[in-house]
């Protein structure tokens, strides 16, 4: 890959103008158009020489003999690197944070984030948090539904709420259930879910507990309820229709994005564990990550680019981003993803 330092100022400006025009129009850009619109006062012949040099360096290509040039993945990479270096961090709109703060749980928040990103970018958008082993038990409640069923509600940090209906061998009175919940919360709240499970199992094996029927039942109910709460990756994806509609119209580089490649992408989106693995392999630190076309490790992703941003609010990490064709509007995608990532981090810190 050619480094930006290897290009002259004129070559950089011609390449940037070519990429931005191709992103907007989706048609090869001619030397005569660039000569007229580059603002450099160059002749068509000079621009042709510059384009020939850029082609030698693998930054542009000529689809047809008489056509203009289109950027390669390497050309997009230089263009995106320039955008990243020149970008200004913009504060997200107050309305966005207000809407996100209405989310009841982290799951709701991520669902809303993926929706906001999809609408703002007109691309496939995702919001993801990895499995966390630091999720802690806040409190647990037991509610009798009928004579033989108890609803166990587990509330963990990050507003993670899990409900489990348990069939019981005997009937529980509400007073007994409330007392059992008070005991569990007093003894185990604040522990990680893993620690709480181990502590409850250990307590159940203590001989002195055999003689306390109420507490034994409380531990059994809590153990069953906690078994249903397993931290796992959370991934929300929205906006696939934008990419599909674009493939049928003119807003996607149809030379690279076909219905066949879209099907491969949609299959990847359906198999969320594969997408989580893919995203996790890219995202190693806080901040923006852009992966373009052939830079992807998965061949299914070569027609597409990814713009993602990771955040950490002190308790959890997460990633938000968009997936679109290599001919995506990178400046808009970078600005939107960066702004939404900052907003999510602030909302989570506030919680």
Which comes out higher in pLDDT, residue 192 or 329? Answer: 329
> What would the DSSP string read from start to end of 29-88?
BPHHHHHHHSSS---HHHHHHHHHHHHHTTSEE-SSTTS-BEE-HHHHHHHHHHHHHH--
List of residues 6+ apart from 312 with CB closer than 8 A: 286, 318, 345
Q: For 58-62, 97-101, 184-188, which range has the lowest pLDDT when averaged over its residues?
A: 97-101
Residue (of 235, 234, 239) closest to 323 by Cα position: 239
Structure confidence at residue 291 (pLDDT): 93
Residue 58's pLDDT band (cuts 50, 70, 90): very high
In this prediction, residue 251 has a pLDDT band, given cuts at 50, 70 and 90, of very low
Q: Is the pLDDT of residue 34 over 90?
A: yes
Reply yes or no on whether the pLDDT at 247 is more than 80. Answer: no
Grouping H, G, I as helix, E, B as strand and the rest as coil, residue 152 is: strand
pLDDT 10s digits, 111-150: 888 998 999 888 899 988 765 556 788 889 988 888 788 8
Domains of the chain (ranges; CATH) run 4-85 (1.10.10.10), 89-131+233-350 (3.30.450.40), 137-226 (3.30.390)
Tell me what the mean pLDDT of segment 247-269 comes to. Answer: 63
Confidence of residue 269 (pLDDT cuts 50, 70, 90): confident
Structure tokens at 124: 């496939």
pLDDT reported for residue 223: 81
The pLDDT of residue 252: 43
Instruction: Check whether 306 has a pLDDT greater than 80.
Output: yes
pLDDT > 90 fraction of the chain, expressed in percent and rounded = 24
Element (H, E) at 119: helix 106-121
Instruction: Read off the pLDDT of residues 235-246 as tens digits, 9 standing for 90 and up.
Output: 888 887 776 665
Q: What angle do CA 114, 117, 120 make, to 5 degrees?
A: 150
Q: What is the mean pLDDT of residues 296-310?
A: 87
Q: What is the mean pLDDT of residues 236-260?
A: 63
Residue 271 has pLDDT above 80, yes or no: no
């Amino acid at each position: 890959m050619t480094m930006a330092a290897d290009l002259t100022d004129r070559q950089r400006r011609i390449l940037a103008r070519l990429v931005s025009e191709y992103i907007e129009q989706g048609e090869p850009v001619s030397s005569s158009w660039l000569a007229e619109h580059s603002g450099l006062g160059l002749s068509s012949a000079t621009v042709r020489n510059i384009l020939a040099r850029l082609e030698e360096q693998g930054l542009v290509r000529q689809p047809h003999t008489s056509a203009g040039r289109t950027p390669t993945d390497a050309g997009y990479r230089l263009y995106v690197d320039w955008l990243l270096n020149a970008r200004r961090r913009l504060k997200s709109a107050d309305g966005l944070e207000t809407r996100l703060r209405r989310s009841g749980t982290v799951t709701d928040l991520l669902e809303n984030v993926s929706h906001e990103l999809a609408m703002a970018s007109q691309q496939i958008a995702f919001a993801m948090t990895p499995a966390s082993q630091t999720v802690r038990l806040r409190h647990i409640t037991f509610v009798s539904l009928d004579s033989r069923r108890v609803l166990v509600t587990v509330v963990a940090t990050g507003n993670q709420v899990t409900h489990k209906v348990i069939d019981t061998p005997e009937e529980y009175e509400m007073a007994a259930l409330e007392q059992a919940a008070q005991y569990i919360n007093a003894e185990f709240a604040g522990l990680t879910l893993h620690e709480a499970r181990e502590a409850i199992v250990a307590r159940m094996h203590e001989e002195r507990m055999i003689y306390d029927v109420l507490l034994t039942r409380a531990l059994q109910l809590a153990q069953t309820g906690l078994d249903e709460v397993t931290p796992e990756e959370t991934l929300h994806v929205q906006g696939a229709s934008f990419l599909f509609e674009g493939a049928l119209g003119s807003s996607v580089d149809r030379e690279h994005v076909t219905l066949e490649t879209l099907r491969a992408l949609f299959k990847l989106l359906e198999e969320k564990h594969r997408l989580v693995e893919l995203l996790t392999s890219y995202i190693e630190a806080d901040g923006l990550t852009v992966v373009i076309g052939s830079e992807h490790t998965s061949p299914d992703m070569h027609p597409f680019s990814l713009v993602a941003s990771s955040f950490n609010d002190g308790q959890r990490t997460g990633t938000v981003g968009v997936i679109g064709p290599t001919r995506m509007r990178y400046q808009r995608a970078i600005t939107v993803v960066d702004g939404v990532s900052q907003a999510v981090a602030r909302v989570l810190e506030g919680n």
